[in-house]
Amino acid sequence: MTPDIPTVMLCGCGWLGQPLGLKLRQVPINVYGTTTRSEQLPVLAAQDIDPIEFVLDKTDVANTVYSSSLLTAFTHTDVIVVNIPPGRRHLHAPPFIAGIKQLIQHAKNKNPNINIVFVSTTSVFGEMTGDVDEDTPVTPVTASGKAHAEIEQWCLNEFPKQACVVRLAGLIDEQRHPVTALVKRPSLANGKQRVNLVHKEDVIRVLVQILTTDFNHVAGRTLHLCAPEHPTRQDYYQAAAQHKGLGTLSFTRDDGIAGHGVVAEGKIVLAQKTQQWLGFKYQYSSPYDML
């Protein structure tokens, strides 16, 4: 650790966290990065990220172990970025919620001045239709959506001047793209619904901006990160499959809501307020730029 420069802890240093850590080191900012896998410790260390092994038990909060190295790191950290996925299958929300709260509370107990960035998801809007923005009330349906919604509210209520929430739309890049899974399905529904996607590089750019210059400006706020263009699922994923040489997709005919012939476009995640707050411009403003 280099003295006299800020320090960030990335709780969750995987597909998003690891390249974020690399960008922060270039600023330069000191970076702690947690990983659940011991074999990743030397990988992070080789990238000048100070590695800490940490496994959040998502079934029983009492089983989570906080090492002395993690607790000591909290005391040296200016901002903690909590980006721990709940796991999509068989999530039991209460222990996951309790575990994230416990993690943040441990950090605050060790360092009352620590700031918090909670990385959330636009799945907190559930099956809403129409435009949703940073101020739209959430209506989660899935266990993951409900867990994220509760943690969001807790962070902002408990630490209104020291926490912000960053909701991500569908997070992709050229290598990790949903079309590679969609082409394996015999048919797809909801072709007229709009896509809500954001490129990993744009997310990293915003998080670096928040962590280096703009945290006080967004404290107490909920931010949205989503590309401003929203083509239909059918148009976009057909084009994506063709672009990647994956063949064609089959979409079922949309018969409308309850047979009334009104085809729902699903939800459209708006992020203009966040752009205005940060003065941010997307490098990948269209999902077609992400192919």
Q: Which domains does the chain have, with CATH numbers?
A: 7-177+197-230+268-290 (3.40.50.720)
Count of CB atoms within 10 A of residue 22's CB?
Answer: 16
**Counting Cβ atoms within 10 Å, is residue 133 exposed (0-12), middle (13-18) or buried (19+)?**
middle
The dihedral formed by the CA atoms of 208, 212, 218 and 220, expressed in degrees to the nearest 10: 100
Binned at pLDDT 50, 70 and 90, residue 88 comes out as low
Residue 63 has pLDDT above 60, yes or no: yes
Among 40-49, 88-97, 190-199, name the one with the lowest average pLDDT: 88-97
**CA dist., res. 238 & res. 229, Å (int):** 16
- Give the mean pLDDT of the chain: 95
Give the pair of three-digit tokens for residue 151: 């943690």
Q: What is the pLDDT of residues 95-113, one digit of tens each?
A: 999 999 999 999 999 999 9
* b/e per residue 101-132 (b: at least 16 CB within 10 A): bbbbeebbebbeebbbbbbbbbbbbbebeeeb
From the CA atom positions of the chain, what is the Rg in Å?
A: 20
What's the whole-number mean pLDDT along residues 193-199? 98
CA atoms within 13 A on the CB side of 111: 22
Beta bridge partners of 80: 9, 116
- Whether the model clears a pTM of 0.75, i.e. scores above it, the answer is yes
Beta bridge partners of 82: 11, 118
Which DSSP state fits 105?
H
Q: How far is CA 141 from CA 177, 185, 208, in A?
A: 24, 24, 31
Residue 260 has pLDDT above 60, yes or no: no
Q: Give residue 193's pLDDT.
A: 95
Q: What is the pLDDT of residues 114-129, one digit of tens each?
A: 999 999 999 999 999 9
Peptide bond preceding 94 in cis form (omega within 30 of 0): no
What's the whole-number mean pLDDT along residues 255-270? 67
Q: Give residue 12's pLDDT.
A: 97
Only one residue has tokens 């260390």, namely 45
**What is the rounded end-to-end Cα distance, in angstroms, of the chain?**
38
